[in-house]
Each structure stands twice: as structure tokens, then as C-alpha cells.
Structure 1
Amino acid sequence: MADIQIIKYGDDNYPKRLMEMSDPPEKLYCMGDISLLENRMAAIVGSRKSSTYGKWAAESIAKALSDSGITVISGMAKGIDTAAHLGAIDGRGKTVAVLGCGIDMCYPAENRNLKRDIVAYGLVISEYPPGTEAKRWTFPKRNRIIAGLSELVVVVEAGLNSGALITAELAAAGYGKVMAVPGNINSPYSIGSNKLISDGVAPVVVIGDVLESMGIYEVDNGDNNLENVLGNAEKEVYMEIKFGGEISVDEVCRRVKRAPGYVNGIIAVLEMKGLVRTSMGKVFVAK
């Protein structure tokens, strides 16, 4: 097991964002790179029970943030949290896990390998002393640390009683911004996140929305880079959009000689990758 480091309130390396909280943790038990506590962070949180779509969204958003130099923070729970950490590790950045148990323990136990990887590629922290077992009350308290360290909290697939909503409420109360991923209206996992949107929280329409919320606007759309991120069909459609300016889908179909269903599918993928946007019946390159 990696060495446990302890940061006390008032220490020089105690996170400044946590010092602004009304009830900051007195101590942080840490394993990994404690310098990450001063990084810009975005939280990705959601239900333990989640769909394939929700896990994909969490992992994709985390990778995009990580690739852009933003440290992704979550709670290492099953479902959305796990997907967020995996996406960040897959990217070029770092990830931080805040535990609802002692730093020497792993909850859930099945995430033991994930915890090991987070210690290696980032940081694991807890305010609970070693040996503290996870209890129902430890997780809501843990969530305030996630909110406090984050400039942005992205909620993915949260039910009405999800702890992710607690994190979102804390962020909205002054710790940072909140966004939510729209979900299937027929899914119980999306009721809470969809309600956040109906209450005025900004929706994540495309992954680029999350980056823009963090003040990241530039997307590397160089032709050489496209070889690595796009397939041949995607690149063909993207290049027509790039050189066509604001162009209609019908015009793209005419130029690539493909059916609307085919082109719309590719445009949807390009939107998810943050490369294009659609508005008022037009499609154009994201800036």
C-alpha cells in the first residue's frame, strides 16, 4: 500500500477551495499526488445503478476533460463514478477519488484495482481516519468535499434519491457550476438529472458544452489530428462542413452523395466528439 500523507486544515498545502467552505474537513488522508489538490477540477457524479449510455457519457466527458488538462474528481462508487475515473485515466490528465470510508479501505471492494490505478495516476483522499468503514451517513458528507474542490459538477443519470443530487445542490449553493446530461425520460436513473435541467441547470447537449463551461474553447481540428480521431466516413462529412461554412444537412448529403439518415448519424457522432454544432437547421464547425 502507498504511504498515507495527512494534510491538516491550515497547512500550506491544504486546498484553498476547501478553506472557503463553512464546514471544511479538519484533516485529509491522502494516497498519491497531493499536488493535484491545487489543480482545476471538474466532478462527474451519478447513480450507482446506471445504463450503458450513462457510463458512456461519463467516460467520454471525463476523457475530454482529462485531455484538456482538467483533473476529474468523483467518489469511486459503482456506475457513473467508476466510468468517470476510467475515462480520466484513459485521457492525458489526472483523476481524484474522494472516499466515503477510511483511506486504507476500498468501497466497493470490487474497485480495488481501480483504486490502485487512481493512486498511481492521480490521488485518493478521505477525511475519515484509516479503519473507518463505509456507512450510509459517510457518503453525503463525502459529497461536500467533491463539490468544494470542483469548479464544475456534471450530473449523469441521477435518480430522485441519488447522492449526486446532494453534490449538485452543494455546488449550486456556491462552490461551483452545475450541468446535467439529459437522459431517457422512461428511465428511473434519469429522473433526478432531467429534473435538474427543468429547474434551470444547463444541459450537456454535446461534450464540448462541458469544456466551454470550464473556459476551454479551442478544439484541435487540424487535418493531421483528424486521422487519429475520425474514421473515413466521419472525416468525409466533417471536411464538407469545415469548408462549407454554415451548411445545411441537405447540402452535406448532396455533396457526399449519401442519404439523410446516414449523414445525420455521422453528424451526431461529430457533435459528441465536440467537432461540430447544429443550430437553426444548419451545421457548422465548433470553435
Structure 2
Amino acid sequence: MPVLEFQKNKMQNQDNNYAIGFSYINGVGRVRLNLLDNYFGNLENAWHAGKEALISAGLDNTLAENIVAHRPKIDLSKTLETLKRHDIQTYAHTDKDYPASLRQIHDYPPLIFVKGQLLPADELCLGIVGTRQPTVYGKLVTEELAESLARAGLTIVSGLARGIDTVAHTAALKAGGRSIAVFGCGLDIIYPSENHSLARQIAENGALISEHPPGIRPRPEFFPRRNRILSGLCRGILVTEAGENSGAVITANYALEQNREIFAVPGSILSPSSLGTNRLIQEGAKLVSSVKDVLEELNISLFSEENTTVEIIPENQTESLILGKLGYEPVHIDQICRECALGVALVSGTLAIMELKGQVRSTGGMNYVRTREKKEIYQLEMN
């Protein structure tokens, strides 16, 4: 077998390269990788071992056969070139740059792939997860909490999925904060594809993380496993809106097993999208109605509080009429026109100006809400 010319790529030892190879083979996780490492002395020897030697190391016959069968199909040199091309780093659980919080969980991944940069500040992070089909309420709540928490100095972690995940990442970046996305596939594959631009922004202002090597496409069974990494990175998990059997509830269950804090935003008892969050609160999750609830539960006591008020003062009669018809539940522009007895062109133009002034917000589909006049802003105090 030819000698492989490996690149260091911020790796501390060549064994990480062979750990990448084993990451392509189903059934070789943390326990078996440590078993191989201990028996053979290093993963390079384990990678080149025959079937009988693998069995002697403690693997069963099926897995040993699987390794021997798949090993010739794995081109490690090509994989390392892919990692370099996509600027993806790898960290073994023994490396100093491997997240300390992740190393604490029982089923930690032996190797992670990272695109972007992990900073010491990311030790103070919170996961925000929820349904892929959020209501307007779920979007607004997630946006407000994620933005405020990011502004307070917390790194926001989620899974880049459609819905709540996307809202949480976007809000954190909008606030000028950091965000981390945990993938259920290789980092060279953006899933869902419409979040390609968002993934790029996260990599520039945080990091993308996966336990899967390049080329591994998303599969349904990968995402529940992905969630253990998401919760393992965090001080706690905040579920803002979720159905009763959603992936967000699975993430909360992982957080419970990992002794992380669990937070949930209450919702309507009539909404299927809030069955999961309401159930979590019944079972002991911390009810969240403001950012302060999260910070206090995480025992983040060194923070200053500032209240900001957005003055919503109508400048003319048209603005006054429109504001009178808006609250915190979405109202369609057609309804505003009917109730104000105004033409659609005038109402549309006025709403556009009011949105620029921060007095109203579009929730999509030509629906609008009134902007909350008072916000609490928290900043962590630096010693």
C-alpha cells in the first residue's frame, strides 16, 4: 500500500487522518475507535490491520468484515484535499481545540469537522431549536430572544434546519453575535440548500460543525444523533416552538441526559406547534417569557440591564389610523384597508415608511404587526 502524504491541517498527530478514514465506516464510534487505538498502539496500525487482527482487538466478525470491505474504497488523500479546499479543520477529542463541553458528554464524537473558528467565548452558548414550520408567533419570539441573547454575549447554536433554526441563526448574526450550526451530513453539503448563504455567514461569524466527513449526505437517522452534539456544546437548550414529537423535543431529551438546562416558551393550548413546548414546561423545563429568565437560570449574574423604548408616534392621520388597527398578532393589508377605509396604494406606501422607521414589522404574506415599544437589553460585564 503506498505511503499517504498527509497534511497537518491543524491536526496534532497523523492518527487524526486515520480517524477520518474510520469515520466513513458505520459502526466505528468512540468506544470502538478507542478499542482499536489501545490494541494496535495507534490508528495507523489499526487502519492497515487484517480481519483476524481486528477481531482479536475486540470487534465482532461483521464489523471487521465491513472495515476490510470498505477500506479500499476510501481515498484518504482525496478526502484531505477536499478538507483543504473547503477550509475544514478536524479535531480529535484529545486535541486542545476540541470543545471542552462536548468532551464532557457520554457519547461524544471522537472526531469533529469544523469550518470557521471556535473561540473561548463559545463556551458560553445556548441552543435554540424548534419546529420546521413555525407560526408567526414562533418566528417573532425566536427572533427576539435569539437577537437579545446574542447581543448579551451568548453564542447561539442550532441545526441550520428550516424554520426556527434558520430564524435563530439569522437573528444572532443580525445582532452582531456569533452562531454555530451543527450538521447532520458532511460540511461540504449544505442542507437545506436554500441556507447556503446563511451557512457561509455562520462560518464567517462562528462555525459549522459535524461528526461526518466530506461527501456524507444527510439521512433521516443522522439528525437525532446530530442533536446530541448540539445540546452537548451548550449550557442549555431553548425550545421556542415545537410539536409534541418533534426533533426539538429529542434535543431537549438529550440535554436532560447531559445535565443541561432546558428552557421552553409557552404557546397556545390550541396550537399543535406548541404542544411540545407546553409539555416540556409541564415536565419541569424553565418557562421563558423574557431573556432575563434564561440568564438567571444559567447563573449569569454579571450583566447590566438597559431598557430601550421605540417611540411609536404617528406623524399624520394615516399613520394614526393604521397603528390603531395593529397589535402583536398579524393583520393582513386588505383588512387594514377595509377597517381604515383607505386605498391599498396609500396603506402600502405608509406601511413601507413606518417599517423603515421601526414602527411596524412585516411578518410575510402582506401581514403586519406593531413593533414592541419596550425592549430589555442585557450586556455581560467584563471584569
Same-fold status (TM-score > 0.5):
yes
Instruction: From 222, 227, 233, give the equivalent of 1:149.
Output: 233
| TM-score normalised by length of structure 1 | 0.77
Tell me if structure 2 keeps the 8 A contact 1:47–1:80.
yes
| 2:162 partner letter | K
Cα distance 1:199–1:40, how it changes in 2: closer, same or farther (>3 A)? same
Per-residue deviation at 1:50?
0.9
Deviation per CA, 1:168-221: give whole Å up to 9, x if none. Answer: 111122331011011122211111111111122111122332233332552124
Summarize the alignment of residues 61-210 of structure 1 with structure 2, pairs less than 5 Å apart: 61-210=145-294
Name the residue aligned to 1:258.
Answer: none
What is the distance in 1 between the residues matched to 2:122 and 2:94? 15
1:218 aligns with 2:304: yes
Tell me if structure 1 keeps the 8 A contact 2:127–2:236.
yes
Aligned to 1:219, the other structure's residue is in SS state strand
Cα distance 1:270–1:203, how it changes in 2: closer, same or farther (>3 A)? farther
What is the distance in 1 between the residues matched to 2:209 and 2:258? 22
Name the residue aligned to 1:274.
Answer: 376
What is the distance in 2 between the residues matched to 1:219 and 1:81? 27
Name the residue aligned to 2:311.
Answer: 231
Q: What is the aligned residue count? A: 239
Query: Whose relative contact order is higher, 1 or 2, with alpha carbons under 8 Å and at least 6 apart?
Result: 1
Name the residue aligned to 2:111.
Answer: 27
Name the residue aligned to 1:48.
Answer: 132
What is the distance in 1 between the residues matched to 2:186 and 2:205? 20
What is the distance in 1 between the residues matched to 2:216 and 2:140? 32
What is the distance in 2 between the residues matched to 1:197 and 1:46? 14
Name the residue aligned to 1:256.
Answer: none
What is the distance in 2 between the residues matched to 1:6 and 1:274? 39
Per-residue deviation at 1:56?
1.4
1:12 aligns with 2:96: yes
What is the distance in 2 between the residues matched to 1:192 and 1:79? 15
Tell me if structure 1 keeps the 8 A contact 2:252–2:262.
yes
| 1:134 partner letter | P
* Identical counterparts, % of pairs: 39
| 1:220 partner letter | E
What is the distance in 1 between the residues matched to 2:136 and 2:185? 27
What is the distance in 2 between the residues matched to 1:159 and 1:145? 21
What is the distance in 2 between the residues matched to 1:143 and 1:108? 16
Show structure 1 runs of 4+ deviating over 6 A.
none
Aligned to 1:220, the other structure's residue is in SS state strand
Tell me if structure 2 keeps the 8 A contact 1:73–1:98.
yes
Per-residue deviation at 1:53?
1.2
Cα distance 1:36–1:59, how it changes in 2: closer, same or farther (>3 A)? farther
Tell me if structure 1 keeps the 8 A contact 2:240–2:264.
yes
| 1:161 partner letter | N
What is the distance in 2 between the residues matched to 1:37 and 1:190? 32
Aligned to 1:86, the other structure's residue is in SS state helix
| 1:175 partner letter | N
What is the distance in 1 between the residues matched to 2:185 and 2:288? 31
Unmatched 5+ stretches in structure 1: 234-260, 276-287
Larger displacement relative to structure 2 (169-178 or 97-106): 169-178
What is the distance in 2 between the residues matched to 1:68 and 1:207? 9
What is the distance in 2 between the residues matched to 1:45 and 1:101? 18
Tell me if structure 1 keeps the 8 A contact 2:147–2:172.
yes
| 1:231 partner letter | E
Per-residue deviation at 1:52?
1.4
What is the distance in 1 between the residues matched to 2:243 and 2:216? 27
